[in-house]
Amino acid sequence: MLITRPYHDNTTNYLFKWSKNIIDFAEKIRTPIYDLSGKKVTKKNFESYIKKLKPSFIMINGHGNNDIVCGHKNEVLVKKDDNEDVLKSTVVYARSCSSASGLGEACGKNPNTTYIGYTADYFFMFEEDMLFHPLKDETARMFLEPSNYVAMSLLKGHTAQEANKRSKDEIRKNILKLLARTNSGADQSMLPLMIWNHSHQVCLGDGNARI
């Protein structure tokens, strides 16, 4: 497994921290994992790691849009119609806005390639007073723990389609928790974002792939 973890703003800092749970789990079950993080998340390093290590699973954290996923300070790592072939024959999970709608569709057309991601913006909320303690942020947990389930499920041996479903099931559980609580202003803000993420999280390409 190869995971990218840039951290140059609040969003990537949260993804960086919450991805540590995935790294810890991979190490616990003795799955080799390579952590490309911080300033090292450049296109050059990313392509070099893939060429050298030939990972079966690549998890990308960072900003993006329909055609790209990014690394440190939004340097483009992969772009549709440019270098998407670097992701061939892998299972990819991109926790990145909108990339499944263009880049993911292109990748999913390649044989033995799977792309799990979002066809529109990916949202999560966080608490301002938890910026230096992301893993203690219970608001962020409601969003990021379910998204971690994609990687966790793949590492446990589930297919890509199963991993995507398990992740979406966790989002649904959190939606139901919010609906069962007394509606606060925060709950009312979180609900539509969770529903949005659930609606736009997709598995493209080979849904039966395992890592």
pLDDT of 28: 96
> Is residue 97's pLDDT more than 80?
yes
Task: Report the SS3 class of residue 117.
Answer: strand
**pLDDT tens digits, residue range 132-178?**
999 999 999 999 999 999 999 999 999 999 999 999 999 999 999 98
pLDDT of 181: 76
> Is residue 184's pLDDT more than 80?
no
- Residue in 68, 92, 64, 93 with CA at minimum distance from that of residue 80: 68
Q: CB of 200 within 8 A of CB of 120? A: yes
Average pLDDT, the chain: 96
The residues pairing with 93 across neighbouring beta strands, listed in sequence order, are 59, 116
Q: How confident is the model at residue 73 (pLDDT cuts 50, 70, 90)?
A: very high
> Is residue 91's pLDDT more than 80?
yes
pLDDT of 186: 63
Task: Report the SS3 class of residue 160.
Answer: helix
> Is residue 29's pLDDT more than 80?
yes
Task: Report the SS3 class of residue 78.
Answer: strand
Tokens of 53: 């290590």
pLDDT of 183: 65
Find all residues with CB under 8 Å of 19, minimum gap 6, and list them. Answer: 3, 5, 59, 61, 148
> Is residue 109's pLDDT more than 90?
yes
> Is residue 187's pLDDT more than 90?
no
Q: What is the pTM of this model?
A: 0.95
Tokens of 4: 């990218």
Between residues 119 and 179, the one the model is more confident about: 119
Q: Which amino acid is at 86?
A: V
